[in-house]
Chain A
Amino acid sequence: MTSHSPDTRVDEARREFMKKSAAAGVIALAPGVTLMTMSSEAAAKADPKKRWGMLIDTTVCKSGCDKCVAACKAENGWEAKAGSPTDPQWIRKVDVKDPKTGFAMSLPVMCQHCANPPCVDVCPTGASMKRADGIVLVNRHICIGCRYCMMACPYKARSFEHHEVPEEEKAPWAPRGQGTVEACTMCVHRVDAGGIPACAEACDKGAILFGDLNDPDSDISKRLASGPSYQIRADLGADPGVRYARLP
């Protein structure tokens, strides 16, 4: 056999990667703590020990308030005209009402950053991906715009960019472009820099709590441990990282 099988090609790529990793300096600060220095490149921020998540308190989220949505639009540069069936939507406010009792509440719904994301399962190119720290993203460099992931998502969290994005509307930290699928990135560019998502920052009622679900000492884990919380359609087994508190 003279031609390379796909497997050997993968092995070659891996070997290249290992060589490069070996060349990168690893400084041990203390047992278990290391600083990786990739020749003047900044360090990797996607930490496999973490799982980023959000807890949304539906008892304080008010109907009619869309500060979180506005903040997401401003941060990530998308716009959805009212009634447009095709405009992008990274986060939206949903008002629900129990017709039997009349109990109503309002809650924001965005990408639920599932541990077992159906959008990743169906993607034919590997563009739909989950980072080591649980953030689910579209790698738009390899997205071909087939929209299988949009069909697979039980939360209707992803949308397709139908239009050209004009130069003046582009945010350097959140590139968006025609012909690819996009969704909430949990403001990955802010999180990597030690910040919190724009929606959580914008909510003046403190209804959106962001944090590490794997760290028992984080505020979010403590809140989750102290009372009931729910995942939307938990029965599907996708295990969303976005939880809702006191959702009936």
Chain B
Amino acid sequence: MISRLTQLVSVFAAAAVLVLGAAGAQAGGIAPKVIIDKSKGECVLPAEQMKRQHMKILKHRRDATMYQGVRGGKRSLQACLSCHAVKGDDGKPVTIKSEKHFCRTCHDYVAVRPDCWDCHVSVPDKAAGRAALKHRAGTMRAEASGLIKYLEGGRK
């Protein structure tokens, strides 16, 4: 009987700790606060999935680009950077050197340091945006002309 009572007490105690812990996390907590500008549209996947899967999405996309030439669209690294740009004091998007950079907020906290920025730019590039637009128009033209060629060839 006594042992049963201690068991109950310990269960209650554990529950109380859990509740207190949750309240603590809600009131600021120790996890980093991620600043997100939601004005540019939805992410590739819902936030909960992005938190866990973004590295897989990036690696999948990286291979698709390297081996198959898949480019542009929401999953490109440039798209991540342009939606998730964080402005610094000078009004310009901050580079990866700044602690405020979107991709550093969590990474600094969990101590992961991907080497992506050795090669990739860490800010959205206006010129890149223009080039990407031009690219897209060019691609569509090329695709359309290929299709026309095929259809005309078929008619002969």
Contact = CB atoms under 8 A, between A and B. Distances in A.
Given A30-B150, A193-B138, A194-B139, A44 B64 contact: yes
Nearest to A140: B119
A39 B27 CA distance: 38
Given A33-B147, A40-B75, A192-B139, A131 B119 contact: no
A131 B69 contact: yes
Given A137-B66, A141-B66, A177-B118, A42 B142 contact: no
B99 interface: no
Interface stretch (B9-17, B28-36, B104-112, B128-136): B128-136
A46 B138 contact: no
Tell which of A172, A176, A177, A192 has the most Cβ of chain B within 10 Å. Answer: A172
Given A45-B68, A45-B70, A164-B118, A141 B151 contact: no
Interface string A129-140: 101110001011
A236 to B, nearest CB: 26
A155 interface: no
A8 to B, nearest CB: 21
| Chain A interface category by residue count | 35 or more
Contacts of A178: 118
Contact of A188 (B69, B121, B143, B151): B69
B120 interface: yes
A40 B69 contact: no
Contacts of A29: 147
A190 B69 CA distance: 11
A42 B62 CA distance: 13
A173 B138 contact: no
Interface in A167-219: 167, 170-173, 175-180, 188-190, 192-195
A165 interface: yes
A188 B70 CA distance: 11
A119 B141 CA distance: 34
A124 B97 CA distance: 33
B72 interface: yes
A179 B115 CA distance: 12
Contacts of A195: 135, 138
A172 B125 contact: yes
A18 B142 CA distance: 28
B87 interface: no
Given A141-B62, A167-B121, A193-B136, A46 B73 contact: no
Contact of A189 (B71, B143, B150): B71
Interface string A29-68: 1101100001011111110000000000000000000000
7 contacts: A33-B150, A38-B64, A41-B70, A42-B71, A139-B67, A178-B118, A189-B135
Given A38-B70, A172-B78, A177-B119, 11 more contacts: A29-B147, A33-B150, A44-B70, A45-B70, A139-B66, A167-B96, A167-B122, A178-B118, A179-B118, A192-B69, A193-B139
Interface of A: 29-30, 32-33, 38, 40-46, 129, 131-133, 137, 139-141, 164-165, 167, 170-173, 175-180, 188-190, 192-195
Leading 6 A-B pairs by shortest Cβ distance: A194-B142, A45-B69, A177-B119, A193-B135, A44-B68, A175-B119
